[in-house]
Structure formats: C-alpha cells, structure tokens
C-alpha cells in the first residue's frame, strides 16, 4: 500500500474490521425483529423474483434473507415492488425456485458487508489500480496537487441565478484543477453554500467531458446537490420514498418506467389480471375438490399454466427494466447515490472521473472509501465540527474522530484544504455564537443576515423571549430530568416546549417551519405525543444535520449528568439549524455547574445579548 503516516496499516485495518463485525451483530439482532415470509418464484443470473406474504419492501430497498444458521445474507436491491418483488443482484444467490425464505431490510447490514469485504480485499492485495490509489490516498500516501486552479468563465451557480462568492469560486476552481490521484478537502460550515459548490463543480466537470458521482452517507445531501442540476444530465439511484418528492424525476426507476411507457403498463396489466384470475381459480378448485377429482385436477392445471405465464411476464418485465436502466446509467453524466448504493447494482461496475462526497464527517473511513474507489479524483466535503460517524459500541469521542474519514484526512491533507467562509442562512446573532466559539472566526455572516428575523407581532407579554429583535435566547426552566427506559425526559421542559410551539403556531408560524430538537428519544417522544402535529418535526440532533427551520427549540432535558448533552459537535448542529429564532430551553443552574463547555458559553453569550429569560410556570 505504500508509505503511510499510520504506523501499522494492517493492524489498523484489522481493528476496523473487528469493529464493523461487532456493529453488524447489533444491527442483525434488530433486523430479526422486522421480517416477512416469502417464496422464491424465479432465480436467474442477476435477478431474483420473490412472492411476499405482504408488501413490505419498496423500490430501491436493499434486502437480505435470514439463513438457517441465523445470519442475514444480502440478496440485492428491489427493482419492482409489490407483493411480488424483483431483486437485482451482483452475487451468486443460493436460492431455489419454490423455496420459502424469511426476508428483512438489509441496507445497513449490506453496508457493513461491503466494508468488511473491501478490507479483506485490501489485506489480500486484490485491488485494481483505481482502488489501490484510493486506499493509498486514504492512508495519507496521496497528494492534494499543487493547488492548481482552472478559472471559471461563469461565476454564477449551477442554476444561473446566484453569483458565487470568492471562497466558493476558489473551491470550484480547485476541484476543476485536480489531476488523477489527487484529493481536495472542502470545509463547509453551516450555511456557507457547500451544496452550491458541489452542484457547480459537478456541472463544470461534466461540461469538460467528465463522469461525476455525487455521494454521501445521507440521502438528503445527495438530493440537495442534484436538485440544482439539469434533470436531463443527472440520474438519482435510490428508494423513491427516501428521496425528496421534487427529486423523483431524476430517479432511475422513474426515468426507466417513463421511457418504457405503454409497453411496461401492458405487461403489468396482464400480470394483475392473471393474478386475479388465479385467486378465483383457487376458490373454484376447493369447490371441485369435494365433488370431482377430475375437475379439480383440470382447474389445478389451468392455475399452473397461468402461474407459468405470470413468471414469463415477470421475466419479460424484468429484462425490459434492467435493459432500460443499463442504458440510462451508461449515458448519465452526473449520478447521485448514497455511499452504500454506489456499490450495489446497477452502479457496482460503474467508474467515474471525479467523486464528490458530501457530509463526509459522518462517514467512517471504510464507508467513505466505498465512494473513493469508484473514481480517479476525490473531493471530500464536510465539517469536522458537526456530526461524526455513529458507532453503537464506541463511547470514546476521540476514537470516533479518528474513525471519521473527514477528520482523518484533515490530519494528512489539512494544509491544502479550502474553507467556505461566508454564512448566508441565519440571523447574525444566532450564527455568531458558532462563528466565535466553534469555528474560531474562520467564518462570518454576510451583512444580509442582520435582517433575518421572525415575522410575528402581539406575542404574549409573558413570552417576551419571542421578541423578533432577540433572535437567540435561553429560557431557564427549573425542571428535573428522570430516567425513562434507556433514555431521559423532563416534564417541565416538555410543558414549556409544547406551549411555545403552540403559541408560535397561533401567531402564524407554520408547523413545517418549526423544529424541536432534543438529545434524548424519551423527551422527543413525550413532546411529539403532546403536540400531535405531524407537520411539526420533533427529533434528535442526528435527524437535523443539513436541515434548516425558521425556529428551532432545543430542549436540553438533562439536569444531572450533562456529558451526553454537552457534546460540542451535536450542540453545534442543533444551534445552527435556526434561521430566525433559536430558543434553548434548560435548567440554567445545572448548566452553570459545568462552566467552560459550549452549553455554558451559550448561556453567557445570550446573557450579554439580553436573551436570558426565566420561564413563567402556569
């Protein structure tokens, strides 16, 4: 693998492999709890057709089957959904026609399998040249080039509506200047336009004849970038229900079905008609069974004939979908998928000139490597001050940082990184807290951020903290937390948060523009149950990265052990989601006991801005 700053690469990889194996065991136990019984209808070289007892899987789902030994073996990705599903696979499947199987959703498990398999291939020196270069780069043996920039003739973003700022232009021009085997790190703090940079870079690379992959640990990050690109040159691979509705015209499945049109509709109509006929014949067969064995056998023969016809139609439909999908993939200039999906059919054999990996701080080393091995040049876009990879068996944050691809690569290549420096999203007094205490002045809000304010009047006198002229506030609620299952909750904060949310709605703020964040699932559940508003999002921090709301209400919840809630990366995500109003609800006395942490600094910050208020209990 070449010289690397990591002293013992083999030992390092074996350690990651063991970690992934442990994480997989946790996910496997959870997968057992949600399964469906199915029967194998047909197995061909790269397609499996199964009939499920009920329609559990959707197009784009990655599924696995539970073996007799209790393991979960991946099958592939669902190409056609319903009670009868068609699954595309890139591996030898040991299933036989008529065999009963238990199926489960397996995307996370497949992700672990792909990473473990990649580690094994590295250890056994089974990589091709493209993959070997990516691995060498990941371990610090690559380079960031000479900082070459190719000038943009057009300084507008990919939509042609917004002019890029200097730091965004530098990032795009540095991406265009990359040579084979070179990497660029782009640090994109909240609201600095990293999605705009990714879309513009992808478009410019495509104009130069390159094939580009936009990928991420999250679906939303991929969707946000593709949304700013022309649909005719872009293709999204993924599950329809997992992508934004406005992105669906980009979907491979949507484009394939649209291209096939009436031919596909006719086949699926025939299948539907035959299935109804078979259902009726089964009832007739049961009636003849008691009267005439000859008639019974005759009806059963008819059923077998119709089943054979259905299977033939499924094969014809499957071939049409697969052939059309292959055509679309081959001609697509810009493709978007998650890191795991990029290594599953139909993308598993595809290669690209440049890969852009967004939200890279959340991707583990081997997960990011799944994207890097797909291309000759690599762009990692992320923010080391936001969410890190999630490992259920690790509590040591320093170790998690070491396992983040973005954090590790900054150690090796940080001198050549590009920062996006101008913030555009939030009120200046909201974002200035993170600018000062998280990013040490590396970013700053543009002047227009001063005027981003909540548009309400006549708020209740006892809720002066809703004053639009005070955008960042702390609300001192003297409640106490308590243990609920493996989580924590706080009744006083639930009451306060629910009253605030209901008041905001009465004042004209739409539910979908309000977000409620808490570190604890028990607190999330209690708030959601009280509000009973599906449009108002209540969730943990992990679900909010890359998102924004006009109003964010953050419930600290904890009043005893503050270690979990004080995690600086999670707090930074929570505090930077709000555009117009940030309301932090917590027990000030408890926070003051942990002086020096980010939560304490926020408390001091808003005190200086006259943003500290005491909650008036009913």
- pTM of the full structure: 0.88
Cis peptide before 346 (omega within 30 of 0): yes
pLDDT at 30 over 80: no
Residues 297, 397 within the same domain:
no
349 and 453 together in one domain:
no
CA dihedral 567, 568, 572, 573 (to 10 degrees): -40
247 in any annotated domain: no
Whether 247 contacts 67, CB under 8 Å: no
Report angle CA 508, 546, 196 to the nearest 5 degrees: 105
Low-confidence winner among 32-36, 125-129, 494-498 (lowest mean pLDDT) = 32-36
* Strands, E assignment, 147-276: 183-187, 212-216, 234-236
pLDDT computed for residue 6 by the predictor: 58
At residue 618, the pLDDT reads 63
162 and 224 share one domain? yes
Helices 219-227 and 194-207 cross at an angle (nearest 10°) of 60
Say what the pLDDT of residue 54 is.
Answer: 82
SS3 call for 583: strand
Residue 238 lies in a domain: no
pLDDT over threshold 80, residue 79: no
Distances (CA, A) of 481 to 73, 477, 496, 522, 597: 42, 11, 14, 11, 20
Residue 453 lies in a domain: yes
Q: What is the CATH number of the domain that holds 577?
A: 3.40.50.300
pLDDT beyond 60 at 4: no
Mean pLDDT throughout 232-261?
Answer: 91
Whole-number Å distance between alpha carbons of 409 and 363:
12
Cα–Cα distance, 583 to 348 (Å, whole number): 45
Q: What is the mean pLDDT of residues 132-138?
A: 91
Answer yes or no: are the C-beta atoms of 442 and 583 closer than 8 Å. Answer: no
pLDDT at 226 exceeding the cut of 90: yes
Verify that 576 and 603 share a domain, yes or no. yes
HEC profile of 76-96: EEEEECCCEEEEECCCCCCCC
Give the model's confidence band at 7: pLDDT under 50 very low, under 70 low, under 90 confident, else very high. low
Q: Are residues 110 and 216 in the same domain?
A: no
Lowest mean pLDDT, pick from 76-80, 108-112, 294-298, 473-477: 76-80
Nearest partner of 328 among 249, 245, 246, judged by Cα: 249
300/236: higher pLDDT: 236
Q: pLDDT of 388-440, one tens digit each? A: 998 888 878 888 998 999 999 998 888 899 999 999 999 999 999 999 999 99
Give the residue from 330, 345, 380 where a domain finishes.
330
456 with 582, same domain?
Answer: yes
Q: Which domain holds residue 98?
A: 5-115
How many folded domains does the chain comprise? 4
Same domain, 557 and 503: yes
Indicate the burial class of 416 (C-beta count within 10 angstroms; 0-12, 13-18, 19 or more). Answer: middle
147 in the same domain as 108: no
- The answer to whether residue 3 scores a pLDDT higher than 60 is no
Instruction: Indicate the DSSP class of residue 190.
Output: T
Could you give the 3-state DSSP secondary structure of residue 397?
A: helix
Which whole number is the average pLDDT over 153-170?
Answer: 96
DSSP string, 242-287: GS-GGGGGGBHHHHHHHHHTHHHHHHHHHHHHHHHHHHHHHHHHHH
- Taking residues 97-109, report their average pLDDT: 85
pLDDT at 121 over 80: yes
């Amino acid at each position: 693998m070449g010289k690397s700053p990591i002293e013992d690469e083999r030992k390092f990889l074996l350690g990651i492999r063991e970690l992934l194996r442990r994480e997989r065991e946790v996910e496997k136990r959870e997968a057992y709890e949600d399964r469906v019984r199915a029967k194998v209808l047909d197995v061909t070289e790269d397609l499996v057709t199964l009939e499920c007892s009920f329609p559990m899987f959707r197009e784009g789902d990655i599924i696995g089957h539970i073996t007799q030994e209790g393991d979960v073996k991946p099958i592939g990705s669902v190409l056609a959904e319903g009670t009868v599903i068609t699954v595309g696979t890139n591996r030898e499947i040991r299933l036989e026609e008529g065999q009963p199987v238990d199926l489960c959703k397996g995307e996370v498990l497949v992700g672990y399998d792909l990473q473990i398999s990649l580690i094994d291939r590295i250890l056994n020196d089974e990589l091709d040249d493209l993959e070997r270069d990516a691995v060498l780069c990941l371990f610090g043996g690559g380079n960031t080039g000479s900082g070459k920039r190719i000038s943009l003739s057009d300084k507008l973003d990919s939509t042609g509506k917004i002019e890029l700022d200097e730091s965004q232009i530098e990032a795009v021009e540095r991406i265009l200047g990359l040579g084979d085997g070179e990497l660029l790190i782009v640090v994109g703090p909240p609201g600095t336009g990293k999605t705009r940079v990714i879309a513009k870079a992808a478009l410019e690379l495509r104009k130069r004849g390159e094939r580009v992959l936009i990928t991420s640990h999250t679906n939303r990050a991929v969707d946000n970038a593709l949304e700013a690109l022309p649909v005719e040159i872009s293709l999204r691979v993924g599950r329809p229900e997992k992508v934004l509705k406005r992105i669906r015209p980009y979907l491979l499945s949507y484009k394939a079905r649209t291209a096939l049109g009436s031919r596909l509709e006719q086949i699926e109509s025939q299948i539907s008609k035959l299935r109804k006929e078979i259902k009726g014949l089964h009832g007739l067969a049961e009636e003849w069974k008691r009267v005439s064995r000859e008639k019974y056998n005759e009806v059963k023969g008819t059923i077998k004939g119709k089943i054979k016809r259905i299977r033939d139609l499924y094969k014809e439909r499957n071939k049409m979908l697969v052939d059309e999908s292959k055509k679309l993939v081959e001609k697509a200039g810009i493709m978007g998928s998650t890191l795991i999906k990029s290594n599953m059919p139909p993308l598993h054999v595809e290669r690209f000139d440049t890969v852009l990996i967004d939200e890279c701080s959340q991707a583990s080393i081997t997960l990011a490597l799944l994207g890097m091995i797909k291309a000759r040049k690599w762009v990692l876009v992320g923010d080391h001050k936001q969410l890190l990879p999630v490992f259920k068996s690790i509590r040591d944050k320093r170790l998690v940082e070491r396992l983040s691809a973005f954090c590790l690569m900054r150690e090796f290549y940080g001198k050549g990184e590009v920062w996006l420096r101008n913030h555009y999203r939030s009120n200046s007094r909201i974002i200035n807290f993170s600018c000062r205490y998280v990013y040490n002045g590396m970013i700053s809000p543009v002047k227009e951020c001063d005027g981003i304010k909540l548009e309400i009047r006549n708020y209740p006198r006892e809720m002066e903290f809703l004053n639009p002229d005070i955008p960042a506030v702390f609300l001192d609620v003297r409640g106490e937390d308590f243990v609920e299952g493996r989580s924590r909750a706080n009744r006083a904060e639930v009451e306060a948060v629910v009253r605030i949310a209901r008041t905001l709605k009465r004042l004209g703020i739409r539910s979908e523009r309000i977000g409620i964040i808490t570190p604890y699932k028990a607190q999330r559940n209690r708030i959601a149950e009280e509000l009973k508003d599906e449009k108002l999002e209540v969730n943990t921090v992990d679900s909010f990265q890359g998102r924004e709301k006009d109003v964010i209400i953050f419930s600290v919840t904890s009043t005893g052990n503050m270690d979990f809630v004080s995690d600086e990366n999670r707090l930074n995500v929570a505090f930077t989601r709000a555009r117009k109003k940030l309301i932090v609800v917590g027990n000030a006395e408890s926070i003051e006991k942990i002086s020096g942490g980010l939560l304490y600094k926020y408390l001091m910050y808003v005190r200086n801005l006259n943003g500290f208020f005491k909650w008036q209990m009913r």
